[in-house]
Structure 1
């Protein structure tokens, strides 16, 4: 699974991209966020307030109950991005 981080999530996690294999019990975005939170203190800080994190799976915006699988691209970003 390809995980992308943008804006302050990138700063807190210390990376813009990771290729990971979550355990089988991670079946949706919310579960992925909880699992990622345990990876490092920076990840924990990035996902400390899940209400402040938006997500897209395979470039489609989605909520925490959206399913994820091994071949997905999952992007996390703040509610408002500049540009």
Structure 2
């Protein structure tokens, strides 16, 4: 997902730069330039969202949820009481 995020963000930035270049070259705005800028923004933000989801998934894989932590802690406490 991180690769997809980088690709989407790169496409968005390229579309925005091309749009700005075309607007400066033409010195006006046509409907296709507005659509291209909009698509660039959508691609960029899709990349950001995709990167955020990838980060969350990676965090969840490497860390316990609060319920898992409580279960482990209770098991450790029971072992100490039984053993001690």
TM-score by length of 1: 0.22
Structure showing greater radius of gyration is 2
- Greater helix fraction, Structure 1 or Structure 2: 2
TM-score by length of 2: 0.22
